[in-house]
Chain A
Amino acid sequence: MADQAGLAPVTAPARPVRDGLALGIAVGTSGLAFGAAAVSSGLTAAQACVLSLLAFTGASQFALAGAVAAGGSLAAGTASAILLGSRNALYGLRLAGLLEARGAGRLLAALGVIDEVAAVTLAQPDGTSARAGFRATFVSIYLTWNLATVVGALGAGRLGSPQDLGLDVVGPAAFLALIWPRLRAGWTERGVGVLGAAIALAATPLCPPGVPVILAASAALAGALAAGPAGLDVPAGGSP
C-alpha cells in the first residue's frame, strides 16, 4: 500500500478529517434531491426530515419515497427500504474493531454507519486516523444531509438540478477514489471489486434498485473462500 492511503505519518492526521469533511459536504448536498423527491412523492416535509434524521441512509430513504409515489403496498416499500439498509450491517462488521465504541458511544456511532463514512474510515492507514475519518465524515454528512433535506423539502421544484453542478458524479467518483488503494493492494481485492461490479450490473435490469448492490456482497464471500488465511493485505490497525 505505497499509495494514497499509506502516505507518510506527517499527513495522516490531517487527511482523514479534510477528506471526510469535504466528502460529507459534497455528498450531503444531495439531501436537496431527497427532500424535493420525498415531497413530490407525497411524503410531508416532516416525514422527509424524520427519515433523514433517524434512518439516515440515502438509498433506503429514496426507496421509501419511491414506494409512496408509486402508490403500491407501503409494507412492501418499507421492507425493501430496510433490505437496502442491510449493507450497513456489513460495513458495521468491518468497522466494529476499528471504532472500538462502547455503550452510548456505540449507539451514536451506529447512526453513522453508511457508505461514504465507511469508505473514508476504511481507507485510512491506522486506527487513529480511521476514527478521525469516521467522526469527520459522519458529522459533516449528517449535518449537511439533514439541512439539505429541509431546504429541498420546503423548496421542492424551485431548485436547480444537482446534476448541473455535476453532483451526481461525486458519489461514484468518491467511492472509486476510496477503494482505489484497496484495488491496487492485491489480486484478491481486485477480483472481488471486478466481480462485485459485474454482479451488480448484471442484476440491475432484473432486480429493484438497491438489490444489485446487496447481491454484490457475494463477491466478497467468493473472495474470502478463495484467499488463503494470509492472502489479504490488511491496513494497519484493521485487525479486530
Chain B
Amino acid sequence: MTGTWLAVLVTAAGCYALKLAGLTVPRRVLARPLPRRFAELVPVALLAALTVVQTFASGQSLHADPARLAGMGAAVAALLARAPFLAVIIAAAGTAAALRALGLG
C-alpha cells in the first residue's frame, strides 16, 4: 500500500469517526443548558462563517470576485423579498453566470 492510499483511507476513517462521534454524544450531556445552547448555536456560527469565507476568500487571500459578489447581492435581495429557497439559489447562480458570460466577472 502506498503512502497516498494510507492517507486517503485514514482521512476517510477520521472524517467518518468525527461525524459519528457527534451523533453518539449521550443525551444527558445535551440536557444540560450550556452544552445544549452551544449545540443549537454552532450551526449558525459555522454556516455564517462558511457563507462569508466562500464569498470573500480564495485560499488564504481575501478578494472580491465581482460576479460572485453580485450573485450574493442577488441572493440577499431575493431573501429580503421573501423569495422561496430555490429562487434565491437560481437568482444567485444566474446573476454570477450572466455577468461572466458578458465578460463582466
Contact call A223/B20, Cβ cutoff below 8 A: no
Give the CA-CA distance A36 to B84 in the complex, in Å. 33
Contact call A18/B46, Cβ cutoff below 8 A: no
Chain B contact surface mostly: helix
Give the CA-CA distance A97 to B45 in the complex, in Å. 19
Chain A contact surface mostly: helix
Contact call A195/B4, Cβ cutoff below 8 A: no
A-B contacts counted at CB < 8 A amount to 326
Contact call A204/B62, Cβ cutoff below 8 A: yes
A55 surroundings in chain B (CB, below 8 A): 11-12, 15-16
Interface string of A9-39 (1 = CB under 8 A from B): 0000001001100110010000000000000
For chain B residues 29-64, which have a beta carbon within 8 Å of chain A?
Answer: 30-31, 33-57, 59-62
Contacts A74-B3, A115-B46, A240-B27 known; A166 to B92 CB distance under 8 Å? yes
Contacts A55-B15, A110-B23 known; A87 to B46 CB distance under 8 Å? yes
Which of B68, B88, B92 has its CB near the most chain A CB atoms (within 10 A)? B92
Q: Does A167 contact B (CB under 8 A)?
A: yes
A44 surroundings in chain B (CB, below 8 A): 4
Q: Does A183 contact B (CB under 8 A)?
A: yes
Residue of chain B at shortest CB distance from A93: B39
Which of A67, A195, A224, A231 has its CB near the most chain B CB atoms (within 10 A)? A224
Contacts A171-B50, A179-B47 known; A89 to B8 CB distance under 8 Å? no
Give the CA-CA distance A63 to B49 in the complex, in Å. 18
Report 10 cross-chain contacts, Cβ distance below 8 Å, ordered by A residue: A60-B11, A64-B11, A85-B14, A169-B95, A169-B96, A173-B71, A173-B89, A176-B76, A212-B49, A213-B53
**What residues of chain B have their CB less than 8 Å away from a CB belonging to chain A?**
3-16, 18-25, 27, 30-31, 33-57, 59-62, 67-68, 71-72, 75-76, 79, 82, 84-86, 88-89, 91-98, 100-101, 105
- 7 further A-B contacts with Cβ under 8 Å, apart from A175-B51, A239-B36, are A55-B16, A74-B6, A90-B22, A96-B27, A168-B68, A175-B48, A204-B57
